């Protein structure tokens, strides 16, 4: 092989190796910051990781909000009308947070199936629902067609 070709090949291989190392380091650094979304039915089925930051979303179950009298701790249940996930949160809730409304919570799931939220996001107007929540509710509705109409229907 000609020395000039050998030098060009070495440079190209060095660039490819450097790019691969940079991509691997970037992937390693970002994997801790990935925040995946899980609907309540997937969490109840054990598909969500325990002790890792995730997002969950659905509707706040009617009559499930319980506020502590001596602190800012709130507990409530998030549902997709197929499964329920109990959630605890300490802090000030958004103004639009209420029963029967769409919500997305960010936090960690513990071994007992309790979701410890670090952040609670509520919908911002009458017609909006986060896409992940509406997709999860539609999927749950499609999987249980024989459900009675006793619960309120979500607005999309």
Same structural domain for residues 118 and 102? Answer: yes
Same structural domain for residues 22 and 40? Answer: no
Same structural domain for residues 85 and 21? Answer: no
Distance in angstroms (rounded) separating the CA atoms of residues 139 and 128? 18
Higher-confidence residue: 8 or 34? 8
Strand boundaries in 39-98, DSSP class E: 53-60, 66-67, 73-79, 84-90
Place of tokens 């380091």: 25
Question: In the predicted model, what is the mean pLDDT of residues 69-79?
Answer: 93
Find the domain containing 111 and state its range. Answer: 35-143
- What CATH number does residue 118 fall under? 2.40.50.140
Higher-confidence residue: 51 or 75? 75
Tally of domains within the chain: 2
Same structural domain for residues 12 and 57? Answer: no
- Tokens matching residue 134: 């509406």
Question: In the predicted model, what is the mean pLDDT of residues 18-43?
Answer: 87
Query: For 93-148, what is each residue's pLDDT tens digit?
Result: 988 888 888 899 999 999 988 999 999 998 665 566 677 777 877 887 787 665 54
């Amino acid at each position: 092989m000609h020395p000039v070709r050998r030098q060009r090949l070495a440079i190209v291989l060095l660039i490819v190796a450097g790019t691969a190392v940079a991509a691997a380091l970037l992937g390693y650094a970002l994997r801790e910051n990935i925040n995946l979304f899980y609907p309540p039915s997937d969490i109840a089925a054990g598909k969500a990781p325990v002790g890792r930051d995730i997002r969950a979303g659905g509707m706040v179950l009617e009559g499930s909000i319980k506020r502590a009298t001596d602190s800012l701790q709130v507990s409530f249940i998030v549902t997709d009308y197929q499964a329920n996930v109990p959630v605890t949160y300490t802090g000030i809730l958004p103004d639009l947070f209420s029963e029967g409304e769409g919500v997305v919570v960010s936090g960690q799931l513990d071994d007992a199936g309790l979701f410890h939220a670090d952040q609670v996001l509520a919908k911002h107007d009458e017609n909006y629902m986060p896409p992940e929540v509406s997709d999860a509710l539609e999927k749950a509705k499609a999987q249980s067609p024989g459900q009675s109409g006793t619960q309120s229907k979500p607005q999309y």
